Amino acid sequence: MTSSLGNTASSRISASSSPGVRLSLHPPSSFSLLSFSSSFKPFAFSPLSSHFSPHQRRSAVNVSSSRGFGTVASPKCAASNPDQLKSAREDLKQLLNSQFCHPILVRLGWHDAGTYNKNIEEWPQRGGANGSLRFEVELKHAANAGLVNALSLIQPIKDKYSDVTFADLFQLASATAIEEAGGPKIPMKYGRVDVSGPNECPEEGRLPDAGPPSPADHLREVFYRMGLNDKEIVALSGAHTLGRSRPERSGWGKPETKYTKDGPGTPGGQSWTVQWLKFDNSYFKDIKAKRDEDLLVLPTDAVLFEDPSFKVYAEKYAEDQETLFKDYAEAHTKLSNLGAKFDPPEGIVLDDTPVQAVPEKFVAAKYSTGKRELSDSMKQKIRAEYESFGGGPDKALPTNYFLNIIIIIGVLAILTSLLGNY
C-alpha cells in the first residue's frame, strides 16, 4: 500500500464570531490518493497529484474544531435523498474527468471506513463509514495528510446536494472513481448516518503503515480488526494501480519518473503502474515482474508475493483480471459498509434492476367449470388441450377459439342426437 502523500494543506487561523477557532485550510496545487496509515510514514493507497484550477486555489475549506468540514453539521439519523445521490454521482463523474482526481477520492472513502473496529459494538465508537473524516481532529491524523484537498474538491457537490450525508458522499465518490477509471461496477448501498461532532471521531492509529518491520503481520493486524481476510487484503491492494507517491510528503518514492514527469496534473512523484489513472491488474503484473525501477514497490506491496497465503491471490490476480475485478468489487463493497449505521436500515440502492414478473403457475381447475375437483390425469389432459389452442398460464385464448369450440360441441351434440334416433 502506499504512504500518505501530501502534507496537510497550509493553514491559517482567523478570528470567527462562532464558538471555537475556525481553521481555514487552503489546498496546495496537488494532492495524493489513498493513505491508510497512522505513523510518520503512513500506509497510503494510490496517491495522485492533480491540478487545481485558479478558482479552486482561491477557495478555502473551512474546518471548525466544533463543527467540521462545510458550514452545517449533519444531523444524526438523516438518510440521504436518492434523487440527490444520483445527481451527485453525475457531478462526481464530471469532476473526475476534469480534475483526474480518482486516487484521492478513492482514498477519501477508504480512510473514512478504514477506522472500523469489529470488536466495538457501539456506534459511532466502532469507527467506520460515518463521515467523521470531515472534522479537523481526524483530518490532522498523519494518515490523512492531504485529504483536505479531497474535501475541497467535493465541497461544491455537498453544498449543492445538502440532503446527501458526508458518509454517503465519501463512499459514493470512492466507488465512482473506481468505476470511472475502468474498474469494476461496485454494488453499493446508501443511507449512511453522519456523526454529529468531532468528539465522535476515532482515535489516531487505526490505519496501516507503508513500511512496518513485519509487513504481513501488520496488514493482518489492521485488516483483521476490520473483519477482512487475506483475499480481501490482496484484492484491495490492487487499487494501488491508481496514483503515485511523492517523497517530499510521504518519504516514499522518487521525485519524478518517465511515467509522471508530464502529469496529468502537477508533474512528479512515482507511480505503481505505467498507466496510473487506469484500473486494471497491472499492479500485480508489475510487482511480479520486478523489471522496472521507475515503478514503486513498497514493503506492503512486495509482501503480497512473499507471504504464502497472500501469494496465492496475488498470483491469481496477475494472471486473471476478471477474477480481480470480481473479488475487488466484493471487498470494496464490504469495506464501504464497515461500521455504518443505515437509515433506512436496509439502505438505499440506486441501480435496482427491475424484477421480472414470475409467470402464474398453471392450475387446470382455473380453466374448468363445476365444483368438483378434477383428477390429476384430467388436469393434464385439459392443460394439454388448452395449450394446443395457444393458451397458457399467462396467455388467455382468443375469443374466437372459445366460439369455435362451442360450435363444434353443438354440432357433435346434434349429430349424436340424430344418430340416436335411427
> Which residues does the annotation mark as catalytic?
111
Cα separation, 293 vs 296, whole angstroms = 7
Task: Decide: helix, strand or coil at residue 6.
Answer: coil
Q: Are residues 215 and 303 in contact, defined by beta-carbon separation less than 8 angstroms?
A: yes
* Among 269, 298, 347, 339, residue whose Cα is nearest residue 111: 339
Bridge partners, 160 (sequence order): none
Q: Number of helices (H) and strands (E) in the chain: give both, helices first.
A: 15, 8
Q: Are residues 114 and 226 in contact, defined by beta-carbon separation less than 8 angstroms?
A: yes
Cα separation, 15 vs 5, whole angstroms = 30
Side-by-side strand order, sheet with 61-64: 10-14, 22-26, 61-64, 68-69
Cα separation, 321 vs 323, whole angstroms = 5
Cα separation, 175 vs 196, whole angstroms = 24
φ, ψ for residue 13, nearest 5 deg: -95, 125
Q: 264 preceded by cis ω (within 30°)? A: yes
Cα separation, 7 vs 160, whole angstroms = 28
* Among 202, 197, 204, residue whose Cα is nearest residue 66: 197
Environment class of 90 (CB within 10 Å of its CB; exposed 0-12, middle 13-18, buried 19+): exposed
User: What Cα–Cα distance (Å) separates residue 217 from each residue in 189, 203, 341?
Assistant: 32, 21, 30
Q: 124 preceded by cis ω (within 30°)? A: yes
Residue with cell 502523500: 5
